[in-house]
Structure 1
Amino acid sequence: MHRLWLTTALLVVFLSSSQRLQAMPLVVEAALDRQVVAPLLAAFEQAHPAIELIYRDRSTLEVNDLIATAEPPPDVVISSAMPWQMNRVNQGYAQQLDSAQASEWPDWAKWRNELFGFTFEPIVMAYRLDLARHILPPQTHADLHTLLSEQREVLQGKVTTYSPSESGIGYTLFQQDARYTDRFWDLVTVLGDADAELEANTRSMLEGLTEGRYWLGYNLLGSYAMVWAQENPEVIVQVPQDYALVMMRTGFIHRDAPNLRAAQAFMNFLLSRDGQRVLAAQTPLFSVRPDVVGPYTAQRLRDQVGDRLYPITLNASVLAFVDALRRDAFMARWQREFSRYQRGDD
């Protein structure tokens, strides 16, 4: 009788623990607007109805901090700030994903089977139709520089771009611009001369364009801008024709993920053909997989822009962007160039 009672008690404890494990939610901390990624989340929930998904949309800097400070930690981390993600992975906060999807993923879009770039998003300019009534809108970075130089009075206070001090992705994009054009700092100077407003995210820039506070935006995330323009026809999106940066949302499984199996299922879905088909057909996030067809694919974007498309690849060089000395030097020069005319310098 005693043995029967003990066996029954152990069985109850086992079943209770199993139920708690199954009921544990999957927590995703992401710098990715839920509205944009909603079709992908819905498809995952339909494919895995037993998993309760908790998706939290935050800024890139908030996500980066939570990787190290959240208690309990998130299961999956997603961000557009690629250097910060790479840095956290190198600090040991990620764990490998051992799956067919991970092993088959393109080398340029992954790092040590721990960090995976699963979108392919162009960086764009956007302008309000009011601009086109006064000035020919820019199609290249050189056009933008000329426009800001020659139409300073018309555009005074009506231009917006990222704040490199408040946005991880904004800082990364400016670093890339400096790499690809030797006139980058001239552009920063004329942005400052036009009293450009520096925003922490693309949404704020787009809201300003719709409200009429801004006429022109530089270095916006194309995924957000394209969705916005569909519902706000006064905003026009322009992929730069001289060169177009491309960023990837990167994701990894936290080393201390409380719900590891669910985290693995989620990451595998992001990389799967089914998940990437949702990205290509129902979101402007652009799929990476070459075997996926749809209006938003990396190959279709390459066909449109050609060899002027410059993806930010996942390799060790990206880590230089989070080097403290390099960041301090970059920000010091940014402040100097951006405020040059405000100081009255020639």
Structure 2
Amino acid sequence: MQRVWVVALLIGGSLASLPSLAVTPLVVEAALDRQVVAPLLATFEQAHPGIELSYRDRSTLEVDRLVVAADPPPDVVISSAMPWQMNRINQGYAQRLDSELANEWPEWAKWRNEVFGFTFEPIVMAYRLDLARHMLPPHTHADLQRLLETQRDTLQGRVTTYSPSESGIGYTLFQQDARYTERFWDLVTALGANDAHLAPNTRTMLEGLSEGRYWLGYNLLGSYAMVWAQEHPEVIVQVPQDYALVVMRTGFIHRDAPNPRAAQAFMNFLLSRDGQRVLAAQTPLFSVRPDIIGPYTAQRLRDQVGDRLYPIPLNASVLAFVDPQRRQAFMARWAREFDRSWREGDQ
């Protein structure tokens, strides 16, 4: 009779008073568009029903600020602004991930088992079809500069690129361009002469291209641009043929992560075959693992572009980019070169 009473009690509605299964929260602060990464997040949540994921999409500089300022701190930090990420690692804001997946991760895509590059994203140019009706679209950085210098009347106010002061990734890309393009500062002057719009993110540039405000965009994140172009046929994406910069989204577990086990599970998922397979098949973020096959893999990109791919290194050398004196000097010269055409025009 006692067993019957227990069953009847449960059927009668007392289940509501029983404690529910514990769910562990996980907070991820990320400079990575939720729309682009949605398949990856969905796969993680399906594989880890006991973890409640809170994914917060922000700008690179906002993510960097929250590493220090957030209270409580995030569990995982993700950003494409590699120098800023490395700087926080250097300041001691990360904890090691000593898993089998972490230990086997390629050396060029990690640092001290604390920060891991899990994507391989080309930097691209993009243009509207309107541009092709007036001029041959650029395929190289030299092509771009030539168009800016010879088609100024047509392109005036119709060019966009990152603002190095508003975007950590934008600043990083220009620093890298200065390494690989001898005439980089001439290009900056040409951008200024064309009254180029300086945007805080790639989405703003893409929206302007689709709306017709801009005809040509420079140094866009290829992952975002490729997704955008699939639904906006008026936008054409061009991987530069002379050289293409590559950025990696890097992730680390915060040293004071409130939920370290959930954070470890998430980071391990990013490095796993399952996670990387989603990146390669369902997103244009390009997987890093060499054992993954799909339309978006680092190896496939290398096969297409060859030795003209220049990944930004994930090592201590990028710390120089966030050195205050170097940044101040770079930004001062940027202002001089970008505004030089206006001063010369007034003389």
Q: TM-score per shorter chain, which class?
A: over 0.9
Aligned length: 328
CA apart distance, 1:214: 0.1
Report SS of the residue matched to 1:132.
helix
Question: Match for residue 109 of structure 1?
Answer: 109
* Deviation of 1:21 (Å): 10
Residues in 1 aligned to 2:25 and 2:133: alpha-carbon distance in whole angstroms: 52
In structure 1, the residue matched to 2:208 is 208
RMSD: 1.2
Counterpart for residue 133 of structure 1: 133
Q: Structure 2 stretches of 5 or more lacking a match?
A: 1-18
CA contact (8 A) 2:158 2:214 kept: yes
3-state SS, counterpart of residue 51 of structure 2: coil
Give 1:256's aligned residue.
256
Partners of 1:21 and 1:98 lie apart in 2 by 28
TM-score w.r.t. the length of structure 1 is 0.93
Instruction: State the partner residue of 1:282.
Output: 282
The whole-number CA distance in structure 1 between the counterparts of 2:261 and 2:155 is: 53
The equivalent of 2:11 in structure 1 is none
Deviations 1:37-72 (A, max 9, x none): 000000001111111000000000100000001011
Distance 2:73 2:118 in 1: 22
In 2, distance between residues paired with 1:247 and 1:90?
A: 19
Alpha-carbon distance, 1:24 to partner: 3.5
Contact 2:24–2:262 (CA under 8 A) maintained in structure 1: no
Indicate the residue corresponding to 1:327 in structure 2. 327
- C-alpha separation between the residues in 2 aligned to 1:21 and 1:332? 56
Q: How does 1:306-345 map to 2 (within 5 A)?
A: 306-344=306-344
Q: Which amino acid aligns with 1:82?
A: M
Measured in 1, the distance between the counterparts of 2:255 and 2:182 equals: 40
Instruction: Please state how far the C-alpha of 1:20 moved relative to its aligned partner.
Output: 10
What residue is the counterpart of 1:83 in the other structure?
Answer: 83
TM alignment of 1:15-34, pairs within 5 A = 22-34=22-34
After TM superposition, give the deviation of residue 252 of structure 1 in Å.
Answer: 0.1
SS in 2 for 1:340: helix
Question: What is the alpha-carbon distance in structure 1 between the residues aligned to residue 323 and residue 263 of structure 2?
Answer: 30
1:53 aligns with 2:53: yes
Shift of 1:313: 1.5
Q: C-alpha separation between the residues in 2 aligned to 1:182 and 1:278?
A: 38
Match of 2:5 in 1: none
Structure 2 residue 79 is matched with structure 1 residue 100:
no
**Partner deviation per Cα, 1:169-194 (whole Å, 9 max, x = no partner):** 00000000000111100100000000
1:165 is matched with: 165
Shift of 1:168: 0.1
In the TM superposition, what is the alpha-carbon distance from 1:291 to its structure 2 partner? 0.3
Aligned to 2:122: 122
SS at match of 1:195: coil
Alignment partner of 1:344: what SS?
A: helix
Deviations 1:220-257 (A, max 9, x none): 00000000000000000000000000000000000000
Secondary structure of the 2:256 match is: coil
Asked whether 1:195 is paired with 2:181, we answer no
Structure 1 residues 75 and 21, CA, compared in 2 at 3 Å: closer, same or farther? farther
1:185 aligns with 2:182: no
Taking structure 2 as the reference length, the TM-score comes to: 0.93
Letter in 1 for 2:122: P
Q: Distance in 2 between matches of 1:199 and 1:186?
A: 20
Letter in 1 for 2:230: Q
CA 1:81 to 1:21, structure 2 compared with 1: closer, same or farther past 3 Å?
A: farther
